[in-house]
């Protein structure tokens, strides 16, 4: 490894990205890191400077030339922002390609996808049947359809790895939960809450009754925030120490440590709202088709989908998540209680 590494972190103010940034700042090699990140908010950008991070005030969604320039100078890219933003991904990859053409050095590219890539959206909450995806099964993983959520970006990254100007590693988180804590949150830089539970609770509050898609029998995995952030560091350490770390089309790493059915989430929300006088019944009911469209738009089938997987490749690297489904369900209760006791809809 070179005496210093230029790291481009996309998503540093976000729920996952901020937690990964915190871990990078605490890394044994942190003194050798030069971390840059695009930030929309100039106030947050100024605060990041106090942590030794170099912010660039720009909009990740639209300032594609800026992304290309930042990527051209990066030894390592941590992409933890919009996992389905194809134009942004192409801009970053273009920057890494220019770097390779100028220096002959491949960029380490650690990208965040999502379990929507394996979701069966035809289930509509009616059963938990279907395959369990294994990240060590390369034939199975290669069969993920090109129209699946996040897949267009993943395929673009595979192509760049095939061409040889990056070494890509794609982390595929499942349902992420937990509250982000630490100095980045305390400073008002990092978003502390998951985006998964609040919309479901907000919809339940609005309709006066906890809801679920179909019978809520669909199955997803779950993973705690700090556990999944640990995977980024475990993976990074394996890469820089020349461990035989799979990359490209073989380099897919699920993040999961437990399984739940949607109905379990719905029952906790229903019970909590009922106890606080915010729900009609302690039992969840099915969203109507109209409600699904109203509250979740095109993502309603995803909420009722199956996305079952095993993080065998990640664990083979030495990743050891500690939080389980019982922790996830406790988090659902905490978040539902917070919203129900607030006395207003969210």
Write the secondary structure of 22-61 as one string of H (helix), E (strand) and C (coil).
Answer: HHHHCCCCHHHEEEEEEECCHHHHHHHHCCCCEEEECCCC
> For 34-38, 81-85, 289-293, which range has the lowest pLDDT when averaged over its residues?
81-85
Proportion of the chain above pLDDT 90, given as a percent: 92
- Using DSSP's 3-state secondary structure scheme, residue 314 falls into helix
Q: Are strands 76-79 and 107-112 parallel, antiparallel or unpaired?
A: parallel
pLDDT for 265 beyond 70: yes
Band (1; pLDDT cuts 50, 70, 90): very low
Query: Which pair of tokens denotes residue 78?
Result: 């941590």
CA distance 66 to 72: 10
Mean predicted confidence (pLDDT) in 254-272: 98
* Residue given tokens 């095993």 in the structure block: 310
The answer to whether 201 and 269 are in contact (CB under 8 A) is: yes
Domain spans, the chain? 5-122+131-191+224-255, 197-221+258-308+317-340
Neighbours of 164 (CB within 10 A): 11
* Alpha-carbon separation of residue 287 from 31, 102, 156, 212 (angstroms): 51, 55, 36, 6
CATH number of 197-221+258-308+317-340: 3.90.25
CA distance 109 to 286: 41
The answer to whether 249 and 340 are in contact (CB under 8 A) is: no
Indicate the DSSP class of residue 139: H
Mean predicted confidence (pLDDT) in 68-72: 97
pLDDT for 346 beyond 60: no
pLDDT at residue 200, as a whole number: 95
Residues in Cβ contact with 241 at an 8 Å cutoff, skipping those fewer than 6 apart: none
**Helix (H) or strand (E) segment spanning residue 207:** helix 197-207
Residues in Cβ contact with 244 at an 8 Å cutoff, skipping those fewer than 6 apart: none
Neighbours of 344 (CB within 10 A): 7
- Chain-centroid distance, C-alpha 40: 19
Residue with the bigger pLDDT between 105 and 58: it is: 105
Average pLDDT value for the chain: 95
Q: Quick one: fold of 5-122+131-191+224-255?
A: Rossmann fold (3.40.50)
User: Which pTM value belongs to this model?
Assistant: 0.96
Band (182; pLDDT cuts 50, 70, 90): very high
Tally the residues of the chain.
Answer: 346
């Amino acid at each position: 490894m070179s005496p210093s590494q230029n790291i481009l972190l996309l998503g540093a103010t976000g729920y996952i990205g901020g937690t990964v940034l915190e871990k990078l700042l605490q890394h044994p090699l942190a003194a050798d890191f030069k971390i840059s990140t695009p930030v929309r908010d100039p106030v947050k950008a100024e605060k990041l400077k106090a942590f030794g991070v170099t912010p660039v005030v720009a909009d990740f969604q639209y300032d594609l030339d800026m992304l290309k320039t930042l990527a051209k100078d990066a030894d390592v890219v941590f992409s933890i922002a919009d996992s389905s933003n194809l134009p942004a991904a192409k801009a970053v990859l273009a920057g890494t390609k220019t770097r390779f053409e100028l220096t002959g050095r491949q960029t380490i590219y650690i990208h965040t996808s999502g379990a929507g890539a394996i979701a069966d959206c035809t289930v509509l909450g009616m059963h938990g049947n279907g395959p369990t995806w294994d990240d060590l099964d390369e034939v199975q993983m290669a069969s993920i359809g090109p129209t699946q959520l996040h897949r267009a970006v993943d395929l673009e990254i595979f192509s760049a790895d095939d061409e040889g100007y990056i070494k890509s590693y794609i982390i595929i988180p499942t349902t992420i939960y937990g509250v982000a804590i630490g100095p980045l949150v305390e400073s008002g830089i990092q978003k502390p809450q998951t985006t998964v539970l609040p919309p479901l609770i907000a919809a339940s509050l609005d309709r006066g009754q906890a809801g679920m898609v179909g019978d809520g029998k669909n199955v997803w995995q779950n993973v705690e925030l700090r556990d999944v952030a640990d995977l980024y560091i475990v993976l990074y350490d394996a890469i820089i120490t020349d461990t035989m770390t799979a990359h490209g089309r073989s380099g897919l790493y699920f993040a999961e440590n437990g399984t739940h059915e949607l109905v379990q989430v719905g029952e906790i929300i229903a019970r909590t709202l009922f106890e606080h006088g915010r729900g009609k019944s302690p039992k969840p009911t099915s969203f109507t088709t109209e409600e699904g469209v109203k509250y979740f738009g095109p993502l309603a089938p995803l909420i009722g989908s199956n996305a079952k997987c095993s993080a065998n490749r990640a664990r083979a690297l030495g990743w050891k998540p500690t939080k389980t489904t019982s922790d996830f369900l406790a988090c659902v209760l905490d978040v539902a209680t917070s919203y129900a006791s607030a006395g207003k809809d969210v």
